[in-house]
Structure 1
């Protein structure tokens, strides 16, 4: 079948060449022959330029010169014979011969050189695998969805695709993904918080009863969750409880780092509710440490670092905590503990891409072995 198709295509190409030859006028032959001669001369000059610049191999250049020269001589001979014969007959015969012999010969030579007539068709799945390095986000999500359709008990898969749905505004899909992750992997503060956010998005920004339940459960597991606390404040504002909303937004604003978009947004919320600007509270811990004797101060610092380590061992979904812990161990000169904390932080933040990048960057900055 392949050879039949190739033969038909070759015949069509030859016909395309021969068709206009049958409509040539004798009086056009002299002008066309002169044009051919000029073309071959220009081709010879171009071959010389390419050879001088090293763009083609000497052997290829010589072959091209011989071919172009041969065609130039043939063109000159046709030009001399125009006045003595039909000006179009020789050209038509030459073109017909080239078309009938040259086109099939060249086509067959090229195909036999670079083609693989016996090669079987690549399966669709293999094509998809080969294209994986250039896969777009939509293709990656489609592959995960296909995987989850075949493996509906893969809780990690649902947990991975859920944030992608959230960022894309696919709140219904995000809600199903996080609900499935909770069903299969159990409740965690992060999963419940993300589920609540998806439920808020699904309700066009309204903190519904279902979303409040999700946030309350999340805060029951980790009372420091920023998103859950923020939406709890939004819920109070939507209920018309301005005092409660102002209190909750104010607490978050006091903790938010100065100069961040979160701090600016929280300050706007506080101002809209009639509250005064909230500044960061005094760091009483630092003041207390500064007043201690050096030996007591070091013991207190070690105690706080050990307490932070113990808290992260219980709940490691805290990028800021891991950054402080690794940095604290390095300041204390305990490089081995810093290396161990870095490894544990990587494992705990495996699903938090942004947090993991920050932790790895800190490891490189502090030149921790293995980072």
Structure 2
């Protein structure tokens, strides 16, 4: 009831000027009519004055004639204007002005009652925070989300040979459940081909085996794989992994990005903006989370009520996101059967080599490729790539020195 009283009062205030305008128009007509009569009396007095001046000899007959004509013309104009104004702006009766105001007022109230959101309550900050907390606490679990949400696409096009090698690794781990390096290899490479559930199961086993030695990156990788397994949804289980990662390293980029995503999904864009804006300002242009943040942060800022202008991206690495076998990958394959290990590493090396040949790459990636070929014993190919790298990175002594160190370890320098 209070709402309707307030609305009716505001509507009445909005309608009052309309009624006043109508009434002012009526009063204005009366005033204009009175002004015309006064003007006509002035002109009549002027005619009398002309006659007196003529009888006194102060004006000639010709001058008096001209004065009479000019004053008569002005009188005619004034009388005509007065009649036109009264005809054009015929005044409304008081009851008519009030009727128009009542129609406008009643029509506005009826229109709101028909199309408005009757009974919709205000949502103060306290209630919004409570709603966001409830949404966060009651959101679906990882298992529930996996039953309905499609997984994200694989990070790379699966190589059939890679799939076969993953099956062999999976079979090997069935007999060696405590093989830390094997589970690390399984987690990393299952994620590459889109087998995210197996990937995060293996990563969880890695964390269990490491115990207190698990790092922030270990937990961030676990959260990453869990979130990819449900198409980008941050479940309570992946949030727990994010929390553990940030407890070990508050500046972990992956964990901060997904923490912001979680808040965006649970009605707290203000928290998302705080996390993402800080992360964006402290990130390199080719960090993997920079692109997704830049694509969403302006909408997040608007939802949070913040005026924000996205800064320009100074540079973007053309090789962001390229993957190849790391030293950990190679070490993790050490416990596999010799033939399987060689095939597994060779598969990853071939993928990296193809990418560098097509798209180019950073000095670190060229060095990694040469080192990997050295481990495989493919010195001829490693030497050929080293020779190519000297041509490409010759103008950059610092980059060439990094690649040269890898070439020396592979035994292909002269």
TM-score range relative to shorter protein:
0.3 to 0.5
Higher RCO, Cα 8 Å, sep 6+: 2
TM-score between both structures, scaled by the size of structure 1:
0.41
Structure with higher Rg: it is 2
What TM-score do the two structures reach when normalised by structure 2? 0.37
